[in-house]
Amino acid sequence: MNCKLIKEKEVSLDKSFFTRNTNITAKVICDSISEQGVRLTTFEIEYPRIVMSEFNTHRAVSKNSSSSRAIPVSKMLEHTKNINLKPIYFGSKKSGMQAGDELQGDALEKVKLLWEEALDYASYYSETLDRLGVAKEVCNRLVEPFQLVKVVCTATDWDNFFNLRLHPDSDPNICMLAYKMYEAMQESKPFKLKAGEWHLPYVTAGWNGKGEMRYADEDFNFVELEQAIKLSAASCASVSYRTEGMTLEKADKIFDMLIKAEVVHSSPLEHCATPVKPKFNELGKVRVNCSEPQSWEEGITHMNKQGELCSGNLRGYVQYRHLLPNNTNWQFDFEKRMELFK
């Protein structure tokens, strides 16, 4: 194939790249800032699954994502066909990890057609396997390169992500995602939270006339804090398949499935958090959140080099996950587990 290229440059991407039409989206769904000035932001994002491995390397970010195992094959194929997803940038081949300048003209149109042809073949074989009775967790894998993945993600520290991904050398797909996330974060105004007030994605929150934080479901019905946490965690957990509103009854069921199962699934509880209590160090009284671990409030897991208290991957907040005693298995019993494989 004779690939006609634009003029060679040191950097393949320029600022005009970010004006392109794309399926990649990012919106802030919950944004908080503590009295200590630590910002906690939750996004709902959609981006090409082909760069999911790059996004998942960021350990400071709590994530729950749509799963190929949870979505019926027919629904997955319909969605894949409708979005007709292609890489946002078809760069030319060169040595190293980064692509060269973008293909142009007939060459670009030809590779786009080849990509669509690959989607048609993958969809055909996925549908054929489905008709033959193969599980969706296998069938859907064939069309993963042509899918968007929806992710709920939460962090207190986003700078390293933006530094690595909003860069001309990064994959163009995740570069565009980082750009849209940065813009969404700049446009969002965080709510000020005190210790005991909760950051809860997918839950409406506000203050009553007494200055007390109140929480409401999607229909703006007031709910107690315990119910609000369940609604938030269940909504984050069901990002794979939720197509309608989250009721209290559904939330209770999903929440119990997360924490009461033999194998506990705690990651959706990481998005729910409250600011750490202010440090209290008055002579003769009970010390709170000082340098000694015995003074830390429940849910604090460690202190960083800057002397800031952390809970899991969040800085300055207590994750609800770490308020549950069984949130992580520290004593895996191999022999007992193998008894399940009969």
For residue 51, is pLDDT > 90? Answer: yes
Identify the CA nearest to 247 among candidates 227, 265, 269. Answer: 227
Lowest mean pLDDT among 12-21, 51-60, 265-274: 12-21
| Dihedral-angle region of residue 220 (phi above 0 means left; psi in -120 to 50 means alpha; beta otherwise) | left
For residue 148, is pLDDT > 90? Answer: yes
Give CA–CA dist 100/2, Å, rounded.
15
**pLDDT band (50, 70, 90) for residue 269:** very high
- SS3 readout for 152-201: EEEECCCHHHHHHHCCCCCCHHHHHHHHHHHHHHHHCCCEEECCCCCECC
* CB hemisphere CA count around 186 (13 angstroms): 8
pLDDT at position 220 = 85
Inter-residue contact 119 to 19 (CB < 8 Å): no
Model pLDDT for residues 90-114, shown as the tens digit of each residue? 999 888 888 888 999 999 999 999 9
**pLDDT band (50, 70, 90) for residue 71:** confident
Identify the CA nearest to 26 among candidates 200, 235, 175, 205. Answer: 175
Q: What is the pTM of this model?
A: 0.91
Give CA–CA dist 48/80, Å, rounded.
11
CB atoms within 10 A of CB 324: 15
Give me the chain's average pLDDT, please: 91
Q: Are strands 222-223 and 273-275 parallel, antiparallel or unpaired?
A: unpaired
**pLDDT band (50, 70, 90) for residue 326:** confident
pLDDT at position 7 = 44
Lowest mean pLDDT among 34-48, 189-203, 206-220, 279-293: 279-293
pLDDT at position 153 = 98
Give CA–CA dist 287/190, Å, rounded.
30
For residue 312, is pLDDT > 90? Answer: yes
**pLDDT band (50, 70, 90) for residue 243:** low
For residue 217, is pLDDT > 50? Answer: yes
φ, ψ for residue 77 (rounded to 5)?
-65, -40
